[in-house]
Amino acid sequence: MARKAKTQQDEIFTLRLQRSAPDLWPMLEALYGSHPDYTGFCDRLLTALHSAWAARPADLRRLDLHRDLEPDWFQRPDRAGYVFYIDRFAGSLRNVLDKLDYLQELGITYVHLMPCLKPRPGDSDGGYSVMDYRAINPDLGTMEDLEQVASALRDRGMNLCIDLVLNHTAKEHAWAEAARAGDPAYQDYYLMFDSPELPNRFEETLVEVFPDNAPGNFTHDPSTDKWVWTTFNDHQWDLNWANPQVFLEVTEIMLFLANRGVDVLRLDAVAFMWKRMGTRCQSEPEVHMLLQALRACCRIACPAVLHLEEAIVAPAEMLPYLGRGRHDGKEGNLAYHNSLMVQFWNALATRDTRMMTHVLRTHFPATLTNATYATYIRCHDDIGWAITDEDAGVFGISGPAHRAWLADFYEGQAPGSFARGRLFQENPLTGDKRISGSFAALAGLEKAVNEGDGPAAETAVQRILLGHALIASFGGIPLIYMGDELAMLNDHSYLSVPEHAHDSRWVHRPRMDWALAAAREGDSPSARCFQGLRHILAHRRAVAELHGGVPTVVLVPPVPGLFAVARRGPARTVLCLFNFTDGWLHVPEGWLRAEGMQQLYDELSEAQVTLHDGGLSLPPQGRVWLV
Hey, which residues are catalytic here?
268, 310
Cα gap 301→593, rounded to integer Å: 50
H/E run at residue 201: helix 197-203
**DSSP β-ladder status, 306-309 and 334-336:** parallel
Cα gap 93→158, rounded to integer Å: 16
For 32-56, letters b (16+ CB in 10 Å) and e give beeeeeeeebbebbeebbbebbeeb
Cα gap 350→419, rounded to integer Å: 13
Give the distance, in angstroms, between the CA of residue 29 and the centroid of all CA atoms in the same chain. 30
Cα gap 147→58, rounded to integer Å: 14
Cα gap 527→485, rounded to integer Å: 9
Phi first, then psi, for residue 542 (nearest 5°) are -90, -5
Per DSSP (E only), the strands in 10-71 are: none
Cα gap 48→319, rounded to integer Å: 30
Q: How many residues does the chain have?
A: 627
H/E run at residue 564: strand 562-568
Cα gap 393→359, rounded to integer Å: 12
Short-list 436, 474, 617, 449, CA closest to 555: 474
**Contact (CB, 8 A) for 254 and 298:** yes
Short-list 401, 406, 409, CA closest to 431: 401
Cα gap 528→520, rounded to integer Å: 8
Cα gap 208→388, rounded to integer Å: 18
**Contact (CB, 8 A) for 93 and 141:** yes
**Contact (CB, 8 A) for 341 and 299:** no
Cα gap 138→148, rounded to integer Å: 16
Residues whose CB is less than 8 angstroms from the CB of residue 310 and which lie 6 or more positions away in sequence, other chains included: 266, 267, 268, 269, 270, 335, 336
C-alpha distances in Å from residue 543, one per residue of 53, 92, 107, 516, 547: 37, 36, 14, 30, 8
Short-list 420, 427, 349, 341, CA closest to 379: 341
- Cβ neighbours of 346 (radius 10 Å): 24
Half-sphere exposure in the Cβ direction for 541 (13 Å, CA): 13
CA angle 505, 469, 266 (to 5 degrees): 45
Q: What is the dihedral of CA 440, 157, 60, 259, to 10 degrees?
A: 20
Question: DSSP character for 492?
Answer: G
DSSP 139-182: TT--HHHHHHHHHHHHHTT-EEEEEEE-SEEETTSHHHHHHHTT
